[in-house]
């Protein structure tokens, strides 16, 4: 299910991506979050398991000339998050506890996570706007 445009805008507003950052969207779908983030100059990586959606988002990025977008056809549970500065997610609630553990064990201090609609369990968010939760990695 595509992320609503209002939520995409809120993700950008609360996370404030900048050039030099590495941003990853887990389950990047049609690439709409990556396309919206790419004007920031950040390196934008989408991870999507559905090959059809991978090609749709790659074609969109190519047609729009967004050279700072990469789309990987992989299972995000097997991706190392240690070099990611900003992680964007919209997962079903049942997966959020496992994702929280992965984030806490792999992401570096100073990194950020934005989650649409479903918060990370028992982790206080720094900000919430239009059902978008912002978290800072402090470890």
In this prediction, residue 1 carries a pLDDT of: 79
Segment (H or E) for 46: strand 43-48
C-alpha 28/C-alpha 83 separation (Å) is 18
pTM: 0.96
Q: What pLDDT does residue 130 have?
A: 94
Do 86 and 42 touch, CB atoms closer than 8 A? yes
pLDDT of residue 139: 67
Report whether 76 contacts 106 (CB < 8 A): no
Delineate the domains of the chain, giving CATH numbers in brackets: 5-136 (3.40.50.150)
In order along its 139 residues, the chain shows pLDDT tens digits of 789 999 999 999 999 999 999 999 999 999 999 999 999 999 999 999 999 999 999 999 999 999 999 999 999 999 999 999 999 999 999 999 999 999 999 999 999 999 999 999 999 999 999 999 999 999 6
Contact 126, 106 (CB under 8 A): no
Question: What does 66-130 look like in DSSP terms, one character per residue?
Answer: -TTEEEEES-GGGS--TT-SEEEE---HHHHHHHHHHHHHHSPTT-EEEEESSPPTT---SEEET
């Amino acid at each position: 299910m595509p992320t609503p445009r209002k939520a995409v805008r809120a993700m950008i507003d609360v996370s404030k991506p900048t050039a030099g950052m590495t941003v990853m969207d887990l389950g990047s779908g049609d690439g709409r979050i990556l396309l919206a983030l790419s004007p920031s100059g950040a390196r934008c990586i989408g991870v999507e398991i559905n090959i059809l959606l991978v090609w749709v988002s790659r074609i969109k990025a190519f047609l729009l000339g967004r050279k700072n977008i990469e789309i990987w056809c992989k299972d995000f549970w097997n991706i190392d998050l240690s070099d990611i500065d900003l992680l964007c997610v919209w997962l079903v609630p049942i997966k959020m506890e496992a994702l929280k553990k992965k984030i806490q064990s792999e992401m570096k201090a100073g990194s950020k996570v934005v989650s649409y609609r479903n918060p990370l369990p028992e982790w206080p968010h720094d900000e919430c706007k239009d059902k978008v939760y912002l978290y800072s990695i402090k470890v």
